[in-house]
Structure 1
Amino acid sequence: MSGLFTTTKIDSHLDGLFKQSAGKSEIAVKPLLPEKVFADIEKKKKKQEKKEGNKAFLGFKKAKELLAASLKRKAEELAEKEEPEKKKIKKLTEEEKLEKEQRTVFLGNVPVACIEKGGYKQLKSKFKECGKIESIRFRSVAFSEPMDRKSAFLARKLHSSRDVLNAYIVFEQKESVAKAVELNGTVFMDKHVRVDSAVNNKVHDRKRSVFLGGLPFDAEEEELWEHFKECGQIEFVRIIRDAKTNVGKGFGYVQFKERDDVDAALANEKKFRNKTKIRVQRCKIPVSEGGVPDKKPKKKGGKKMPAKKPSGKSGKPLPAPKRFEGTRATKDDGSKFKLVKTSKKKVLAKKKQGKK
């Protein structure tokens, strides 16, 4: 043991090598970075974020442009499809309007069921015999709700108490109108249909017509056809209605084919709906059509109205002069005395004589 702790000879060569070494190593410490380095790092981060933001914005912008282009393309396609329809509804000139009206007939007292598919086919088939039909339009439809007429028509919001309407049929040829007018008064779907030309220049013959007053507001044309059918052959029946609500105004007209039938209608004492007495009168003929002007009623006895009494300065009427001679006649008196009119001058003259 003692030999282990004994000193030995040191190798000088090795000792020299160790002495020339760097010495003991120190613990590695992370160097502190200056503020400039941190600023550069933040700047790089912001630049990167901005770059990414720009990239996202450009992507969004590109997507927006693509969407706009797609919508524009679709709009152009729709416009191309709608161009033929726009051509159909273009504004017509006055000559074109007149030419179209000459090919059009008016239908009155048409069953409201004709707006449905089945009734529409029956109506078209009925008048197709007169010629090729260009279009059919329905008018004077009574709706149950106060809304846009087009929307109410599409939604079929029809009034339950009004079962008829009016219509216009446009034919392709003018000659078809004359054939269609011959169907006036024919029964179609249990209704007497009125057929007339849209440009009818025929003067209404008031000598063959009667005026009807005191009609119920819910009266229908078909009821009047039934009420006056025994008086003679009816040409048409018309009830005057409100333009917006299509509710009757309480009066109308019936035109017969013969003038003699008017007397029968005036003598008809049958009550409407077996409870209402309607007023039936001759239609007045205007002076422009050869009628006689109404005479002004004469005053009783043909005497003029008494003039107004003169008034004084205060505006009050002056008292009437007193009668000094004669007496006022009454019914009880046997014989009437003749009244003598006196004037102010005579009264004043008598007063002056009395003073003297």
Structure 2
Amino acid sequence: MSESEEKTVKESDKKIEIPKKKLYTDFTTNTVFVGNLPITYDKTKVTKLFSRFGKVVSARIRCIPIASINMKKKVAAIKKEFNPRRNSVVAYVKFASEDSVKAAVDANGMIVDGHHLRINLAETSTEIDTNKAIFVGGLPFDIEDDELWEFFENCGKINSVRIIRDSHTSMGKGIGYVNFDSTAAVELALQMDGQELKKRCINVKRCLSTKLKKKTKLFGKKKTEEMVEKLLSKRNQTKIKTNKKNKMKISKLESSANSFTGSKANVKKKKQKKPSQQVMRKKKIVKILEKS
């Protein structure tokens, strides 16, 4: 083999380095998701708003409500031709540090121009406590997050509100979720089932966990509802039993404590009745004198 042929072989043996694609995590690290942002806010306004938490690297506006189905979102954003029935958009804000991200997430629920902002980590899907959440069906398609917030705010402290929307038009699909701070608020919210919201009767139900959702697919709604009722009744029965046991234990402890205090008092009384040593000596002397 000639030298030129050897060089070509060596060059072919070398591994070709393919440029790595930017992973999704590169865009989501140190990034927060901002929901229910006022539609009037652009990138500059968003950076100004969130710079209070730290240095903002970038801001992106998403879920723009287009005026017509044929219109592209970029065109709608440039021309500012939005759906008149919508008043909110979504944004992603990337920070320079993790501390800024934590500070921003802690500000979840902050009010900006009458809008309750929903601020979550963009990197991971936030875990919601289903015991403190409700499912709302039969909602008007043009309903906004704040309207649903105001409807349920008397039930208790609300952490967040989410309306399921169409990915293209950003209009509602008639369903949503309300996440409360306590289970007591959920019980009050369930009493609002069948009430009117914007001339529509809404359905308010408990928020099902992922396990129960799978069961609904397998067994159907009726069977799953029966299963849920059975589980709730079992839980209530166990609570009643534990309460009874605790009461019995407390009563036993109280009775034992009372008997212990009573025995102590009797001992004290007995001790008081015992004569002193001087009295005993005197009695002995009297007996000796009587014998003599």
Q: Which one-letter code corresponds to 1:93 in the other structure?
A: K
Instruction: Name the structure 2 match of 1:226.
Output: 150
Instruction: Name the structure 2 match of 1:131.
Output: 54
Which ranges of structure 1 fall in alignment gaps of 5 or more residues?
A: 1-89, 298-356
- Alignment partner of 1:252 is 2:181: no
Instruction: Name the structure 2 match of 1:31.
Output: none
User: 2 CA distance for matches of 1:156 and 1:223?
Assistant: 24
Displacement of 1:223:
0.2
User: 2 CA distance for matches of 1:278 and 1:253?
Assistant: 12
Label 1:138 to 1:149 Cα distance change in 2 as closer, same or farther (>3 A): same
Could you tell me whether the CA contact under 8 Å between 1:285 and 1:291 is conserved in 2?
no
Displacement of 1:243:
0.7
Percent identity (aligned): 34
Could you tell me whether the CA contact under 8 Å between 1:136 and 1:167 is conserved in 2?
yes
User: 2 CA distance for matches of 1:240 and 1:286?
Assistant: 17
Label 1:123 to 1:148 Cα distance change in 2 as closer, same or farther (>3 A): closer
Which structure has the bigger radius of gyration? 1
Instruction: Name the structure 1 match of 2:35.
Output: 108
User: 1 CA distance for matches of 2:196 and 2:72?
Assistant: 39
Label 1:166 to 1:91 Cα distance change in 2 as closer, same or farther (>3 A): farther
Instruction: Name the structure 2 match of 1:271.
Output: 196
Richer in helix (by share): 2
The size of the alignment, in residue pairs, is 201
Could you tell me whether the CA contact under 8 Å between 1:139 and 1:167 is conserved in 2?
yes
Q: Which TM-score applies when normalising by structure 2?
A: 0.63
User: 1 CA distance for matches of 2:147 and 2:33?
Assistant: 21
Instruction: Name the structure 1 match of 2:228.
Output: none
Displacement of 1:231:
0.5
User: 2 CA distance for matches of 1:226 and 1:288?
Assistant: 29
Equivalent position SS for 2:49: helix
Q: Deviations over 1:150-174 (max 9, x none)?
A: 2222121211111101001011112
Label 1:152 to 1:91 Cα distance change in 2 as closer, same or farther (>3 A): farther
Q: Cα RMSD (Å) of the superposition?
A: 2.5
Could you tell me whether the CA contact under 8 Å between 2:64 and 2:76 is conserved in 1?
no
Q: Which one-letter code corresponds to 1:268 in the other structure?
A: M
Equivalent position SS for 2:102: helix
In the TM superposition, what are the counterparts of 1:130-169 in structure 2 within 5 Å?
Answer: 130-145=53-68, 146-169=70-93
Greater RCO, CA 8 A, separation 6+: 2
Label 1:246 to 1:91 Cα distance change in 2 as closer, same or farther (>3 A): farther
Which ranges of structure 2 fall in alignment gaps of 5 or more residues?
A: 1-18, 224-292
User: 1 CA distance for matches of 2:27 and 2:98?
Assistant: 9
